[in-house]
Amino acid sequence: MSTRWPPFPHDATAFRYAGTALRKNWPRLHRGDCEPWPADVKAQDAWRAYHAGDFEHAVSLGRQAGGAALAAADKAAMIHANYLEADAARKLALLQDVAARCEQRQRTQPDDANAWYFHAYALGRYSQGISIATALAQGLGGRIKASLDQALALQPAHADAHVALGTWHAEIIDKVGSLVGGLTYGAKKEAGETHFRRALELNPESAIARTECANGLVMMFGKSRLGEAEKLYAEAVACTPADAMECLDIAAARAEMDD
């Protein structure tokens, strides 16, 4: 990579899971994405770099090692793109690369829930970058929904996929309205809220589940849910991060509250 990635901007001391600490904390760290513990040492090192916010190093380690380590590389790339990449073109390119790699993994590892979830996440953030209307016109909405449905079929307890599917319903309704959203895309307010609630049940310590739920409720139901959204934002800011991504999630929630 010719251009260094912007570094993780917070203190990562608490997020360095050396030795056996990674295995000990794995259930908490991966409650959202249900990623299984990797037996491969190189994959473990890639995840250590990811959790500590060294996303560029995690991508390098993961791609070099291949196999189970590719999941760490893909997640590192997409979280970096979402939160830290300031250049719009580079951000979109990173997300497209993740989506393409996930499509390859879907063919070779079709039972890997995160090959489907990471694909949906990357396409979802890409869609936000080019505008939801443009993404819908390009047919990305259907592709995202199909990947999320498959992720949940493989792993029903995948909290992050529930969050993303709730956001899928909310953004379509926000863009085209309840009637067109329901008839054309199958987007429903009740389904969106159900997915958000399920995500919070599965991962009650998640800040991003709260902020996405807050945003989604307002997009789907309007000002009538503003008070609940504000409460969810306050809860998100009060969460204790277990790794760099969660730290960035909380920082984003705090920035939303300050606006």
**Per residue in 166-215, pLDDT tens?**
999 999 999 999 999 999 999 999 999 999 999 999 999 999 999 999 99
Q: Which of 144, 111, 141, 114 is nearest to 30 (CA)?
A: 114
The answer, yes or no, to whether residue 1 has pLDDT greater than 70, is: no
Signed CA dihedral, 131, 135, 136, 137: sign only: positive
DSSP 126-177: HHHHH-HHHHHHTTHHHHHHHHHHHHHHH-TT-HHHHHHHHHHHHHHHHHH-
CA-CA distance, 226 to 232, in Å (whole number)?
Answer: 10
Number of residues that this document lists for the chain: 259
The answer, yes or no, to whether residue 259 has pLDDT greater than 50, is: yes
137 burial class (0-12, 13-18, 19+ CB within 10 angstroms)? exposed
What are 50-91's pLDDT values in tens digits? 999 999 999 999 999 999 999 999 999 999 999 999 999 999
The answer, yes or no, to whether residue 242 has pLDDT greater than 70, is: yes
CA-CA distance, 253 to 172, in Å (whole number)?
Answer: 22
**Per-chain mean pLDDT for the chain:** 96
pLDDT of residue 2: 47
- Specify the residue for token string 């000002």: 223
- Rounded to the nearest angstrom, the gap between the alpha carbon of residue 257 and the centroid of all alpha carbons in its chain is 20
- Tell me the CB-side half-sphere exposure of residue 25, using CA atoms within 13 A: 17
pLDDT of residue 39: 95
CA-CA distance, 4 to 195, in Å (whole number)?
Answer: 37
| pLDDT band at residue 4 under the 50/70/90 scheme | confident
pLDDT of residue 60: 97
